[in-house]
Chains A and B, each alone.
Chain A
């Protein structure tokens, strides 16, 4: 546990360093040190200045999404749970498009709250529909509910977008999920929510560990199953929604992270949760760096890179005999 934690932490530091060094424009390490220490109007320096908030945002969003995915997979015992698959992003997108088109909101600080409202509502609806049956939410039902609701919300979004070409062009950059426009002042209002979600998640971890033994067993251990589950769901919504609001829909991070952690450390959720908070940022910042390098001089948005990594993982997990039978 300690060893893998250390190795991951070292990797994370290295990826952050890479994230500062590599960009569409190449900058030498000495320039970077210079930029961190002194003030100068050099182009290289301003390039770095842009990359610092971007890296920080990557860390935050990665941690939030990774922990959210772990929570969701833990409480639903569903190895395919992920905010993007379950339609949270489409909910946020619809809310944001509505706010641009009908209430002429224009600043990301405003999008944040609207997006939060949209994804929280969608999350509740998807969860409610997915868990209607007597046996609670099965992976298939929950996934289908997410896909179907996404599709309906997506159509509503296009219905609003189609006649408004100006909205389309500002929306499509938000839509792919990127952290390139990061600014500290835009992150600040969302940070408390993110922090609240993370704290809640870590407080609930022992309870989730007990939940994985099955509801009856957990109740036998003296736990309030319903209370833990709804609090965990609330934490997951807080995390996903604030990340979506900050960076747009970045998919599959929540799906991949818990599985990697489980591979490294085994089935104990306390350990998985602890590693998630390292693996998530590693994945997001790493994907962002990759996205900057592969198509120089333009970027590939981080959401696209994570989807291209995550979709095959999803397919492999879904093809797994045990998963398919849950």
Chain B
């Protein structure tokens, strides 16, 4: 109504300003997206060509088109390609799920690693490895179930008519501690080989990536990503605060519930495929938010950042001078200090 009080010329100016700002946001967001896609492709190509034996781009193209020798085709198509694709897609899933939670609960610390979902999936997986002797797809399903049930448990415990982020984070930490205790109990009771399998899985590794894991991971990530994008508008409205959002016609608890379920599914399927690659879901959101700037949703960009982080860390992990490491170790050792830095900055700005 206020706009009616403005002169026509002033009104015109205001509208053009608004359009200009919107266009600037859109251009920046598009540029960032394109740059991230280019970076992701470059990292994927590096991951495919570098290694024990270094291949050229023409080897790569030849292998894909079936024009190179058997050995090259085997290494590129059977050993490296699934690893790269799974790392990339799992990274996207971690990134999108992470920013989904952080955005929804309006707190950077509310990432799935911290609120116990990862711990639940891990414990279910240890149970699968150690007690049931599972591997592959059944193990993955069990881990997904573990993650989902834990999320429901944390949500049920934290629910007081709405989700208070601080309470959810603290309760999640407690639930995670309980599951970790169960997990270590199982570990103590198992034999050396199971333990090594479980430890490797728990650190998050792409070493066992296979083509057969790809369809489910890719489908879930695609569907989950589309659902999160569809929900994104409502989540953005939630940023104004629950009361304001409710006033604008958003059904707050329902949106929160939907985002959490989609996020957990994305995350649990990715975790089931690669193991928990730590800090990816935590870090992707803040990085993407810095890149696109304030006031723009960074959902897609966060996914791309996640993919880049996983592939980049995997390249580092495979080419360490001493010994090869699972990718999760690299992300944790690099990501942890960054996380602490973010905490310090948040404290300084009194957001925590």
Chain A residues packing against B (C-beta within 8 Å): 80, 84-85, 129, 132-134, 138-141, 143-145, 147-149, 151-152, 154-156, 158-159, 161-163, 165, 168-169, 172-173, 175-176, 251-252, 298, 300-301, 303-304, 307-308, 310-312, 314-315, 318-319, 321, 323-325
Contact = CB atoms under 8 A, between A and B. Distances in A.
A176 B185 contact: yes
B343 A141 contact: yes
A324 B164 contact: yes
B340 A149 contact: yes
B109 interface: yes
B332 A152 contact: yes
Interface stretch (B22-30, B49-57, B187-195, B216-224): B187-195
Given A168-B195, A324-B166, A158 B203 contact: yes
B283 to A, nearest CB: 12
Contact of B329 (A133, A155, A308): A155
Given A140-B170, A165-B196, A318-B171, A151 B332 contact: yes
A140 B339 CA distance: 15
B177 A165 contact: no
B181 A311 contact: yes
Interface in B129-180: 157-158, 160, 164, 166-167, 169-171, 173-175, 177-178, 180
Contacts of B189: 298
Contacts of A140: 109, 166, 169-170, 352
Contacts of B337: 152
Contacts of B185: 176, 300-301, 304
A147 B114 CA distance: 8
Contacts of A144: 109, 114, 169, 343, 352
Given A145-B343, A149-B336, A304-B182, 5 more contacts: A144-B114, A252-B177, A301-B185, A307-B178, A324-B170
A319 B340 contact: no
B181 A134 contact: no
Nearest to A161: B199
Interface in B4-30: none
Contacts of A311: 174-175, 177-178, 181
11 contacts: A145-B340, A147-B173, A149-B340, A151-B336, A155-B328, A155-B333, A158-B202, A159-B333, A165-B196, A312-B178, A319-B167
Interface in B80-134: 109, 113-114
Nearest to A325: B166
Nearest to B190: A172
Contacts of A300: 185
A145 B166 CA distance: 14
Given A172-B188, A315-B174, A141 B352 contact: yes
Which 5 pairs, one residue from A and one from B, show the smallest C-beta to C-beta distance? Answer: A311-B178, A152-B336, A307-B181, A155-B332, A318-B170
Nearest to A129: B340
Contacts of A303: 181
Nearest to B332: A155
Given A84-B177, A168-B195, A172-B187, A162 B182 contact: no
Contacts of A148: 336, 339-340, 343
Contacts of B177: 84-85, 251-252, 307, 310-311, 314
Nearest to B193: A165
Nearest to B169: A140
Interface in B323-352: 323, 325-326, 328-329, 332-333, 336-337, 339-340, 343-344, 347-348, 350, 352
Contacts of A85: 173, 177
B72 to A, nearest CB: 29
Contacts of A129: 340, 343-344
Contacts of B175: 311, 315
Contacts of B174: 311-312, 314-315, 318
Nearest to A298: B189
A129 B346 CA distance: 12
A301 B188 contact: yes
A132 B342 CA distance: 12
A251 B336 CA distance: 22
Contacts of B109: 140, 144
B207 to A, nearest CB: 11
A324 B167 contact: yes
B181 A175 contact: no
A312 B171 CA distance: 9
B341 to A, nearest CB: 10
Nearest to A303: B181
A84 B181 CA distance: 11
A84 B295 CA distance: 39
A134 B114 contact: no
Contact of A165 (B160, B188, B192): B192
B348 A133 contact: yes
A325 B164 CA distance: 10
A146 to B, nearest CB: 9
Nearest to A324: B167
B196 A168 contact: yes
Nearest to B351: A133
A304 B182 CA distance: 7
A318 B167 contact: yes
Contacts of A151: 113, 278-279, 332, 336
B325 A139 contact: no
A168 B188 CA distance: 11
B196 A143 contact: no
A301 B235 CA distance: 45
Nearest to A306: B181
Given A155-B278, A176-B185, A251-B181, A133 B347 contact: yes
B325 A319 contact: no
A162 B325 contact: yes
A145 B203 CA distance: 21
A176 B178 CA distance: 13
Contacts of B181: 251, 303-304, 307-308, 311
